[in-house]
Structure 1
Amino acid sequence: MAEPGNLKILREAVLELAGRGIRSERKGERMRSVTLDVDSAPIEVHGHQPKAEWNGHYAARIYHPLITSIAETGDMLDARLRPGNVGTADGALDVILDVVDRARKSFCDVAMVRVDAGFPSAALLAGLEVRGIDYVSRLPANRVLNRLAEPHMVRPVGRRPAKPRMWLRELRYQAETWDKPRRVILVVKEREGDLLLDRFFLVTSLPWTRKLRHEVLAHYPVFVSIIFLGARF
């Protein structure tokens, strides 16, 4: 079963089973569109199984699989087992674009892809744009983004309310590897009991004429890494 040819058939079967379930619930009709969530899921292991490696970020010996699922239904469309020491985006470009193309062919159009900060490479964003698929992704902070954010990292004058506040700001940003500037939304947050403001960045293909800042933020889910503590494989 671990032969490359067999793994390919198993991956195709996972997506096809999800497609059959979706079509059966709709009397054979395709869904109009779906949103795909892509995330890595560090799984802690205990032993020296093949591909189980130490990952300094998670401070554990893990597998680091890449999982793609449908946001609206929870159906898993693809899962790729990866060594525990690979980066979040390792192999993600081929996986995401492959799943997008197969999902479109099988049961629905893909309206959006949502990924976390480790994924938005220039090739992935361009590949989604060529296919006409929108995306929302978190961006890792860097020197340029921090400089753009700095003027907005100031609290309004006056007494701080009991409930933490949030501010959204529009930015235009072009990474060195990107072929063009893209829309970036700066999310500035108060944290209870913290004197300093927190922040993170979202990059999106959604224009402001279609989705306002708070609507884009609403499209970005909270990615929670799944770690099975004490799991044995």
Structure 2
Amino acid sequence: MSSLQQNILNFNKSLSYNFEGGNLSSDSGLIIIRSFVEKLGLRPLLEDAFNDSAYRVHTYASIIEQLVYTIISGYHSDNCSDSLRHDPIFTNILDKEALASQPTISRFINSLDETAIEAFNRLLEILFERANPKRSTKQIVLDLDSTLFETFGTQDKSAYNFHYASKGYHPLMLFNGLNGDLMKIELRGGSVYTSNNIEAFLKPVLEWLEEAYPNTQILVRADSGFATPALYNLCEEFGVLFVIRLKANATLKKYSEDILREFEDVYGKDYSKHHVMYDEFPYQAKSWQKPLRVICRIERSPGELLARATFIVTSLEAEPKVVVKAYNKRGNMENFIKEAKIDFSMKSASHSSFMANTIKCLIKALAYNIVNIMKRTALPKEHQSCRMLSLRTVFIKIASRIVTSARRTTFKLSSNYPWMRQFQKIMEKIDKLCFS
């Protein structure tokens, strides 16, 4: 313990500090998360999916639940659980005398296998169904993308990725582009190509959606890394629409020569404004089974000398301008990926085992989805578009003192908390929620 002399503050010699305030908590806002999770019914789902043993002090389900809360709170290292073992907020919301320690968590993470991956994927599906009611869900946009999770050690299957010019993992991610729900994630080796194994990744999702949402229009949206016949054929097999960007090649450029000449005739000397033209034509690459509709957009921004051509293959029957607009909205996915990687530390791959990193990634996906669903169903409008970094500061990091009597435990939150009224409104809204 530091001496009193060491703890005197240099800006005011009459002030000092120590860590003897008692059994307090700085994460009292987790009672919001716990109340929301109760409505979602997460705990019974975890207990059904990971029914290892009721006689363990820390069951698999309870460890997953603990990790969900520590991740949401911003404690991304398992070592933090040792310091939080007797935190009164964590122990009360988890109904535990003490949290699972780092060694216990590590043994759990390293004990799971492929069966656990299937269980997590099913959990993500169930949460999606509860948060997206079948009767009111008219459209689902499946945004596909890959990203890089950097690694800095000797993790299994970590490899150099030339596209990102860095070493790490190269996971596939699937979001609902309309609301940001993470529907599936698959961790892959770092050197795997973007669209590799896309059929095996997406087909189970389409099978599930075909059964769960038979009357819902589904659109698959992806960039040029996924422009592969396997994906087109899969979409057609399930009657799913698609809009996918194509990489420019000599043949596509030849098809666009007429519209490019027209563009130059109309806008050739005007470099002061943004100009755009659209065209469409049937196109069949050598590897395609049949011709498909391709939209061509010719665009030039103010100050640019040369026009740029963008090619999009699609099964949509809408006007070219509408198709391009629909494709451009996939830009929101970059924000979803950014929040998942940074705010939920999904990019961290701290285990040496590839399977362990996969399991930890799926637990983080679970935490991400819980918060994402809560944003649109329980938070005020002004906070629904906030990232988890902001929400953590506003609604999670609240100081409190816990008072226990014979009949009740009370969380006495800071009287100086600035968002007291919003906090109470959120709790009231959660009480009225009902997820079937």
TM bucket, shorter chain:
0.7 to 0.9
3-state SS of paired residue (1:10)? helix
User: Using a 3 Å threshold, how does the CA distance of structure 1 residues 232 and 77 change in structure 2: closer, same or farther?
Assistant: closer
Which secondary structure state, in structure 2, belongs to the residue aligned with residue 145 of structure 1?
A: helix
Alpha-carbon distance in 2 for matches of 1:88, 1:104: 25
Structure 2 CA distance for partners of 1:16 and 1:123, relative to 1, 3 Å? same
Structure (1/2) with the larger strand percentage: 1
From 75, 89, 97, give the equivalent of 2:195: 89
Give 1:156's aligned amino acid. Answer: D
Compared with structure 1, are the counterparts of its residues 61 and 110 closer, same or farther at alpha carbon in structure 2 (3 Å cutoff)? farther
Question: 1:183 is aligned with what amino acid?
Answer: R
Whether 1:29 aligns to 2:135 is yes
CA drift at 1:84: 1.2
Show the 5 A alignment for 1:117-196: 117-154=224-261, 155-157=264-266, 159-196=269-306
- Cα contact 1:46–1:232 (8 A) shared by 2: no
1:217 and 2:324 are equivalent in the alignment:
yes
TM-score, length-scaled by structure 2:
0.48
Equivalent position of 2:397 in the other structure: none
Deviation, 1:14, is 1.0
Match of 1:98 among 204, 207, 232: 204
- How far does the alpha carbon of each residue in 1:178-206 deviate from its partner, in whole angstroms, 9 at most, with x for none? 11111100111113433111111000011
Q: Is the 8 A contact 1:191 1:198 kept in 2?
A: no
CA distance in 1, matches of 2:211, 2:152: 40
In 1: Cα distance, 2:251 partner to 2:269 partner: 31
Task: Return 37-46 or 88-97, whichever deviates more.
Answer: 37-46
2:153 aligned with 1:47 = yes
CA contact (8 A) 1:185 1:202 kept: yes
- Once the 2 structures are TM-superposed, how far is the Cα of residue 232 of structure 1 from its aligned partner? 4.3
Q: Is residue 65–residue 80 contact of structure 1 (8 Å, CA) maintained in 2?
A: yes
Structure 1 unaligned regions, length at least 5: none
The C-alpha deviation readout for 1:83-115, integer Å capped at 9, x for no partner, is: 111111011112122212212323563421111
CA contact (8 A) 1:52 1:63 kept: yes
Q: Which residue of 2 aligns with 1:56?
A: 162
Checking the alignment, whether the CA contact within 8 Å between 2:221 and 2:330 is kept in structure 1 is: no
**1:17 equivalent in structure 2:** 127
Q: Tell me which protein shows more helix as a share of its residues.
A: 2
Deviation at 1:161, TM superposition (A): 4.7
Aligned length: 226
- Structure 2 gap ranges (5+): 1-108, 350-436
1-structure distance, mates of 2:271, 2:301? 12
Give me the whole-angstrom Cα distance separating, in 2, the residues matched to 1:196 and 1:62: 37
- Contact map agreement 1:104 1:110 (CA 8 A) in 2: no
Write the distance in 1 (CA, Å) between the matches of 2:232 and 2:135. Answer: 30
Partner of 2:5: none
1:30–1:163 distance in 2 versus 1, CA, 3 Å: same
Contact 1:30/1:107 (CA < 8 Å) preserved in 2?
no
Whole-angstrom distance in 2 between the partners of 1:232 and 1:37: 23
Q: Provide the alpha-carbon RMSD of the alignment.
A: 2.3
Structure 1 residue aligned with 2:186: 80
| Structure 1 residues 49 and 192: alpha-carbon distance in aligned structure 2, compared to 1, 3 A threshold | farther
Aligned equivalents of 1:58 and 1:127: distance in 2? 28
Q: 2:223 aligns with which of 103, 116, 126?
A: 116
Output the TM-score relative to the length of structure 1.
Answer: 0.87
Distance across 2 between alignment mates of 1:89 and 1:110: 23
Preserved contact between residue 138 and residue 202 of structure 1 (Cα < 8 Å): yes
Which amino acid in 2 is paired with 1:55? Answer: N
Alignment check: 8 A CA contact 1:134 1:204 kept: yes
1:204 aligned to which of 306, 314, 329: 314
1:103/1:110 contact within 8 Å kept: no
The question of whether the paired residues in 1 share the 8 Å contact of 2:241 and 2:316 is answered with yes
Asked if 2 retains the 8 angstrom alpha-carbon contact of 1:168 and 1:185, the reply is yes
What secondary structure sits across from 2:188 in the alignment?
Answer: coil
CA–CA distance in structure 1, aligned partners of residues 167 and 217 of structure 2? 35
Question: Post-superposition shift, 1:69?
Answer: 1.3
Tell me the SS of whatever aligns to 1:141: coil
Contact 1:136 1:203 in 2 (8 A): yes
Contact 1:16 1:106 in 2 (8 A): no
